[in-house]
Structure 1
């Protein structure tokens, strides 16, 4: 196995991690920004007001996007496992 192959496999794995994590984190970031703007406008300084909406949107995103994320992860694992004979030889 050449160093270029190892780097290519690592690059694909890191891209998969970034893709799957961003699907979960981005909606929470947007909701956090909206709630923070609301808190700044109304001068309400309550910690649970910002935590609960982010938690709920994260759970909803995981429920809705979970099958897609699992499919992407399994496709990547299948490609990696099926390419083992070509990587060794």
Structure 2
């Protein structure tokens, strides 16, 4: 495997990481923003108010997006192994 191929694999790995983590991170961002707005409007400053809904909805998003995440990771793994086997063999 040449340096260019390694750089390409690293770039693909970063893109797959972004694609796989994006749904959960976006859900956490939106929930945090909505809870912060709610806390600002009601002047309730309870720490668990942000933690519990965020934890539950991030877990739900992981369950919902699990097939998408696994297919992306599996596709990347197969593509990388094909490169290694073809390049090394």
TM class by shorter-chain length? over 0.9
Give distance in 2, aligned partners of 1:50 and 1:85: 47
List alignment gaps of at least 5 residues for structure 2: none
Q: Distance in 2 between matches of 1:56 and 1:74?
A: 26
Following the alignment from structure 1 to structure 2, what is the Cα–Cα distance between the partners of residues 85 and 35? 49
Matched residue SS, 1:24 = helix
**Normalized against structure 1, the TM-score is what?**
0.93
Deviating beyond 2 angstroms after TM superposition, the runs of 4 or more aligned structure 1 residues are 85-89
Deviations 1:43-76 (A, max 9, x none): 0000011111100110110011001101110111
Match of 1:59 in 2: 59
Report which structure shows greater RCO (CA 8 Å, sep ≥6).
Answer: 2
Q: Provide the C-alpha distance between the structure 2 equivalents of 1:45 and 1:87, rounded to a whole number of angstroms.
A: 57
Q: Which residue of 2 aligns with 1:79?
A: 79
Shift of 1:86: 2.8
- What is the aligned-residue RMSD (CA, Å)? 1.1
Aligned counterparts, 1:31-50, within 5 A:
31-50=31-50
